């Protein structure tokens, strides 16, 4: 089950709405902390950790050796803040709750850097709540589901960019690695953990063997720690490098592991030959989860706890297939290798070679250009030219807007920056680009409805793995002309050569194309008749032209229509549809 907690906070003289004890009991929740102006209610099946005299930690905590911390955490130090101590000495999936120490401060909260524990808040004039579950807050009458139309404009242009704002008015998300402080009438957030700390020159790995060992140790530790807490694991295994690495680490964990791989009825998606090689090598059972075309829907109820659009047309059939399989197996948790491309620095352009030239000079730069030429199978001259161009022009923008099929009046929507976009002076272009990509991984959990029934583990996005990988410079990741080279080296002993040397990746482009061909007219009608169009946000004439045009299976407009339907569908499920349409 998902984590569930709700903290009620108010400053001196203001009271939160009373909620009767019988209500909490019916919800399966108990008060785990009551101090001053703060009360924290936690579901019976959600783990907690007491920190005597300092507060409570909701979720799971491990020490840096991967051992779970249970019962109490003794913290008596005065030389370091508790939040800093947790981030430097521990990791996990948690929200730390600290009651205020005086009349002015109601509470402080910290969300761990992985974002494994959801955390939303609403605080107005010193009174409000912090919770892992938006649906819980609405059920208790603490908030409504009123759509924030300014956010909708923003998400149409920056569809998968995570920010503090959500699609619901007066609801904000505490971002991973950030802290929240409620102090009187003042509400503030700030980043406590930042990826920029770990790409600093004094933290950068210089030896390839040591870098490889650090990656192997961090990934193995994270996977093993979670598996031995959960005990029964269903791994979503594609046979790609990232999920295969997770599988290799699960082989050494004291947990029962079963693997499943997705199978769709179109060419290019069936990766069973690769998944089978991994499963046979590690002696795991491999099952198939069929994702058919008929079950691909654009109009479906999104997860109850979704505060923003996030569940798209492919998420729905995958979620249904995996949920059916997990139910039949009685599994405890679901594991995924998602985020591996970002964590293992799968940069597409010449940025790693440009970084090597800037950081290490001509000799290292030439070596990286040679690797780049081999990686992309291009001439040395072309690799050098692209590297020099990158040096001149620098990193690509953190996030590019997409104005396709939008009304032009919404094209000037200001960029709602993520705190990790605060780039230090003299930052390397490759570090800027991979940290931008890391921000993108924070939206992965938004579209996973099955995480309400089973914990969804993304071990490659855990804090120790992020820190270890960020410390490896971008040019090391293309050593020998292979992408994610350091990760391949780290697990060369544990996986078949055919997987370690694999260059291809599975693609769902033909699956998307088949869905679009079948459902294009229905989706375009869904948009033209919907809330977005009635508010004047969409280019309705452009949608109608698309409806009357010849079908183009490889058009980028196809995925744009999917994204717009995702936003429209989410909006329609936030209240009565007629009330969401424009005046």
Residue 171's beta-bridge partner residues? none
Contact 581/535 with Cβ under 8 angstroms? Answer: yes
Q: How far is CA 426 from CA 232, 354, 356, 358, 430, in A?
A: 46, 13, 14, 10, 12
**DSSP readout, 310-350?**
---TTHHHHHHHHHHHHHHHT-SEEEE-TTHHHHTT---SS
Whether the predicted pLDDT of 583 surpasses 60: no
Residue count (the chain): 583
Residue in 383, 390, 384, 385 with CA at minimum distance from that of residue 355: 390
Q: What is the largest CA-CA distance in the chain?
A: 73
**pLDDT for residue 206:** 96
DSSP-derived pairing of the beta strands 285-290 and 256-263: parallel
Residue in 179, 187, 169 with CA at minimum distance from that of residue 128: 187
Distance CA 73, CA 84 (A): 14
DSSP-derived pairing of the beta strands 285-290 and 178-183: unpaired
Residue in 25, 29, 22, 23 with CA at minimum distance from that of residue 6: 29
**Burial tier of 152 (Cβ tally within 10 Å: 0-12, 13-18, 19+):** buried
Whether the predicted pLDDT of 200 surpasses 80: yes
Residue 110's beta-bridge partner residues? 96, 179
Distance CA 132, CA 113 (A): 15
Range with the lowest mean pLDDT among 49-63, 347-361, 494-508? 494-508
Range with the lowest mean pLDDT among 7-21, 39-53, 453-467? 7-21
Distance CA 279, CA 285 (A): 6
Whether the predicted pLDDT of 13 surpasses 60: no
For 432-442, the pLDDT digits (tens) are: 999 999 999 99
**pLDDT for residue 103:** 57
Which H helix or E strand runs over 21? helix 21-26
Contact 495/278 with Cβ under 8 angstroms? Answer: yes
Mean pLDDT of 182-186: 74
> Which segments of 260-397 does DSSP mark as H helices, in order?
272-282, 315-329, 340-343, 351-360, 362-376, 380-393
Residue 125, classed as helix, strand or coil, is coil
User: If pLDDT is split at 50, 70 and 90, which confidence band does 184 have?
Assistant: low
Contact 182/106 with Cβ under 8 angstroms? Answer: yes
- For residue 79, what are its two tokens? 């030389």
Distance CA 103, CA 125 (A): 15
**pLDDT for residue 191:** 96
Whether the predicted pLDDT of 198 surpasses 90: yes
For 501-538, the pLDDT digits (tens) are: 988 777 888 888 899 999 999 999 999 999 999 999 99
**pLDDT for residue 411:** 60
- Distinct helix (H) and strand (E) counts, the chain: 21, 17
* pTM for the predicted model, two decimal places: 0.95
Residue 538's beta-bridge partner residues? 406
Instruction: Report the chain's mean pLDDT, rounded to a whole number.
Output: 92
Q: How far is CA 538 from CA 462, 516, 535, in A?
A: 38, 19, 8
- For residue 133, what are its two tokens? 């579950």
**pLDDT for residue 526:** 97
Whether the predicted pLDDT of 11 surpasses 80: no
- Percentage, residues of the chain above pLDDT 90: 77
Mean pLDDT of 534-559: 89
Residue 408, classed as helix, strand or coil, is helix
**Full set of structural domains in the chain with CATH:** 5-193 (3.60.20.10), 198-343+443-474+484-500 (3.40.50.620), 509-580 (no CATH)
């Amino acid at each position: 089950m998902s984590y569930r907690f709700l903290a009620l906070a108010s400053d001196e003289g203001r009271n939160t709405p009373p909620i009767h004890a019988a209500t909490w009991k019916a919800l399966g929740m108990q008060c785990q902390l009551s101090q001053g102006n703060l009360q924290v209610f936690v579901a019976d099946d959600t783990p907690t950790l007491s920190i005597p005299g300092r507060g409570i930690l909701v979720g799971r905590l491990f020490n840096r050796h991967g051992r779970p911390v249970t019962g109490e955490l003794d913290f008596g130090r005065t030389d370091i803040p508790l939040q800093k101590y947790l981030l430097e000495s521990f990791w996990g999936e948690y929200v730390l709750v600290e009651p205020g120490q005086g009349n002015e401060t109601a509470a402080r909260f910290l969300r761990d850097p992985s974002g494994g524990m959801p955390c939303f808040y609403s605080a107005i004039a010193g009174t409000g709540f912090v919770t892992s579950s938006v649906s819980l807050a609405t059920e208790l009458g603490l908030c409504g589901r009123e759509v924030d139309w300014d956010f909708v404009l923003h998400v149409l242009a920056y569809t998968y960019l995570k920010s503090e704002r959500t699609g619901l008015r007066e609801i904000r998300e505490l971002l991973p690695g950030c802290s929240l402080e409620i102090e009187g009438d003042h509400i503030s957030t700030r980043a406590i953990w930042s990826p920029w700390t770990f790409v600093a020159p004094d933290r950068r790995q210089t030896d390839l063997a040591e870098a490889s060992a650090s990656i192997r140790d961090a990934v193995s530790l994270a996977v093993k720690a979670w598996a031995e807490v959960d005990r029964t694991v269903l791994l979503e295994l594609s046979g790609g490098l990232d999920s295969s690495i997770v599988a290799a680490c699960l082989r050494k964990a004291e947990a029962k592991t079963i693997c499943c791989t997705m199978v769709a009825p179109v060419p290019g998606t069936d990766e069973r030959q690769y998944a089978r090689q991994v499963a046979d090598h590690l002696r795991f059972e491999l099952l198939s989860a069929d994702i058919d075309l008929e079950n691909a829907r654009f109009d479906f109820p999104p997860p109850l706890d979704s505060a923003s659009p996030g569940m798209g047309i492919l998420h729905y059939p995958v979620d249904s297939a995996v949920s059916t399989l997990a139910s039949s197996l009685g599994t405890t948790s679901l594991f995924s290798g998602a985020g591996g491309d970002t964590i293992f620095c799968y940069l597409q352009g010449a940025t790693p070679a440009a970084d090597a030239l800037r950081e290490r000079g001509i000799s290292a730069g030439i070596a990286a250009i040679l690797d780049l030429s081999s990686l992309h199978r291009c001439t040395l001259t072309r690799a050098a030219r692209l590297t020099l161009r990158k040096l001149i022009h620098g990193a690509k923008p953190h996030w590019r807007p997409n104005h396709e099929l939008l009304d032009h009046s919404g094209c000037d929507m200001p960029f709602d920056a993520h705190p990790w976009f605060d780039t230090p002076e003299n930052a390397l272009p490759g570090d800027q680009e991979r940290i931008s990509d890391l921000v993108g991984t924070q939206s992965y959990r938004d579209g996973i409805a099955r995480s309400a029934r089973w914990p969804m583990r993304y071990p490659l996005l855990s804090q120790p793995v992020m820190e270890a990988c960020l410390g490896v410079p971008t040019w090391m990741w293309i050593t020998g002309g292979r992408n994610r080279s350091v990760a391949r080296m780290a697990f060369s002993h544990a996986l078949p050569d055919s997987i370690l040397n694999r260059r291809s990746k599975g693609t769902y482009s033909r699956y998307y194309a088949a869905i679009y061909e079948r459902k294009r007219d229905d989706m375009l009608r869904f948009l033209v008749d919907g809330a977005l169009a009635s508010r004047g946000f969409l280019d309705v004439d452009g949608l109608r032209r698309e409806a009357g045009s010849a079908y183009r299976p490889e058009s980028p407009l196809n995925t744009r229509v999917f994204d717009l339907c995702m936003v429209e569908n989410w909006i329609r499920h936030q209240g009565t549809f007629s009330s969401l349409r424009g005046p």
